[in-house]
Structure 1
């Protein structure tokens, strides 16, 4: 799959916004939202909740920065980011099922449920803005 795909101005703007969001979210994992993010870590995960939050924060910052600056691997980073969003989704489900509050806005079952529907949006956002879908479609046409 070709790593450099031409993307539109809109895709680039949304890619930059997503990269900044990821970098900010990762930073917040390590600082002011550290406890809030621990509410998302499922009890069944056999690791310290704080360690999971710290590691996921580092990964989020790394993904955000690479999405922002590593143009030659942008398509692949889009896929990795989409996979990351899939991997953290069980934490969001756990937060909903366990009724754990978070971030001052996830204080009702309804709010936590609505939040679940945004995960597919983040996956699509990553794949579209990085040109990953386009690269995949182009590779299928060659087959």
Structure 2
């Protein structure tokens, strides 16, 4: 399981790093799907991009890994309203309106992303081990 967790950790770190860069370079699409109740949406998007990059790097540092797993899982939970708004309002991003073929799997996959961050960060072992502390 250690090798599988290391691979999952690396894949997740690369994904969060790449998406963090996109948040910083092209925040417009993310601003468009940000719920109206979020203050200063552009600044929030830029801050979340920096958080994704920091979390991805921290996930690869053993002494920061647990916290990175927790924080990336919380991050994935916090952006869920934006994913819902994107789906419900049919917002075009980059001139493209994505249909249910994109949004349904994306929304259903969000809990997996949350679990993935917790498992990759060795916060949890579920469902692979049931007893004792998580193993890196």
TM-score tier after normalising by the smaller chain length: 0.7 to 0.9
Measure, in 2, the Cα distance between the counterparts of 1:113 and 1:18. 21
- Name the TM-score, length of structure 1 as normaliser: 0.80
Counterpart of 2:28 in structure 1 is 35
Unaligned runs of 5+ in 1: 1-6
Q: Is the Cα–Cα contact under 8 Å of residues 56 and 68 in structure 2 kept in the other structure?
A: no
Deviation at 1:44, TM superposition (A): 2.1
**Residue of 23, 46, 66 corresponding to 2:17:** 23
Unaligned runs of 5+ in 2: none
- Name the TM-score, length of structure 2 as normaliser: 0.83
Counterpart of 1:90 in structure 2 is 81
Name the structure where helix makes up a greater proportion of residues. 1
Counterpart of 2:44 in structure 1 is 52
Tell me: higher relative CO, structure 1 or 2? Use CA pairs within 8 A at least 6 residues apart: 1
Measure, in 2, the Cα distance between the counterparts of 1:87 and 1:25. 15
